[in-house]
Amino acid sequence: MALVGAFSIEWGIGALMDLPSTSGLQPRKALRATFTTLLARQLASFVRFAMAARWRAKRALGRSALVRGGFASISGTKPR
């Protein structure tokens, strides 16, 4: 499975490099455009990943507060 993923990424980079060079860009500029696009996509996915982790942490904290509040109201004791 890792081989298929690596092959797909390599093929995608090659296809992205060929796209600007067919429109008349020099190979150096095509490579720069390709890696700029790749970097922007990776940065966007990292931001989404970080925001999802933060959202999950907030959600978990909210649940634990609800559980403590619910337990305290049932048992009649104050939450810690």
Residue 59 confidence (pLDDT): 76
Condensed to tens digits (0 to 9), the pLDDT of residues 5-62 reads: 889 988 988 888 888 777 787 888 888 888 898 899 999 999 998 888 888 877 777 6
Residue 60 confidence (pLDDT): 74
Buried b (16+ CB within 10 A) or exposed e, 41-79: eeeeeeeeeeeeeeeeeeeeeeeeeeeeeeeeeeeeeee
Residue 58 confidence (pLDDT): 77
Q: Is residue 63's pLDDT more than 70?
A: no
Residue 39 confidence (pLDDT): 92
The model carries a pTM of 0.55
